[in-house]
């Protein structure tokens, strides 16, 4: 179950989270729990979109509403495996993350001109191997940049992307830093 916690640590589930989407002035959330992980969302970013969940996918978008277009956004996607990949070692899971990261970046390439992306870099998120890719490109003549992190576990695939103008704003850099500090969720958070 995914939860957003406000600055006082109070859990805001389901309908309350939807209320926050509709009332961004009330949203001063810092912690966002998704699957087994906790992400500290910088305060400038507000819950913007939580797409209708499918059987195995959850998508959340946090944005800065007062920013110029393209607004800085954090997109978090959790894809739950149809069948757990039990027995896969960390190298195999990293290969899965790399494959899906490249697919995500290929989709971004189709919507932009002057597109460039970095090589996939192996990093560690929440103690697990993950993939990090930076891309740039123009949308409607505006320079944009995205930073994508993909983490594969035996049961889930997680995408974390920060996107906005190029060069990145301080808020975008804070969001990237927050993703790099992703934490395993404390069992007391349930």
Query: What are the domain boundaries of the chain?
Result: 3-189
The CATH number of the domain covering residues in 3-189: 3.40.1000.10
**Phi (first) and psi of residue 8, to 5 degrees:** -95, 5
Q: Is 141 exposed, middle or buried (0-12, 13-18, 19+ CB in 10 A)?
A: exposed
CB–CB of 178/148 below 8 Å? no
**Chain centroid offset of residue 114 CA:** 24
Structure tokens at 45: 């970013």
Distance, CA of 8 to CA of 36 (rounded, Å): 21
pTM above threshold 0.75? yes
Predicted confidence (pLDDT) per residue in 10-57, tens digit: 333 443 343 334 333 334 447 999 999 999 999 999 987 677 888 899
pLDDT value for 5: 52
């Amino acid at each position: 179950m995914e939860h957003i916690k406000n600055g006082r640590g109070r859990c805001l589930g389901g309908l309350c989270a939807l209320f926050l989407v509709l009332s961004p002035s009330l949203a001063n959330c810092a912690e966002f729990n998704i699957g087994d992980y906790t992400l500290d969302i910088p305060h400038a970013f507000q819950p913007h979109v939580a797409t209708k969940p499918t059987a195995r996918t959850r998508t959340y978008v946090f944005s800065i509403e007062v920013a110029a277009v393209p607004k800085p956004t954090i997109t978090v996607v959790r894809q739950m495996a149809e069948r757990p990949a039990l027995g896969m070692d960390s190298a195999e899971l990293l290969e899965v993350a790399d494959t899906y990261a490249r697919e995500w970046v290929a989709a971004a390439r189709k919507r932009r001109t002057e597109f460039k992306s970095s090589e996939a870099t192996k990093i560690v998120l929440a103690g697990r191997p993950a993939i990090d890719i930076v891309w740039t490109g123009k949308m409607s003549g505006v320079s944009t940049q995205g930073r994508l992190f993909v983490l594969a576990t035996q049961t889930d695939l997680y995408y974390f992307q920060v996107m906005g103008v190029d060069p990145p704003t301080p808020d975008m850099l804070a969001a990237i830093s927050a993703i790099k500090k992703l934490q395993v969720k404390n069992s007391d958070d349930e």
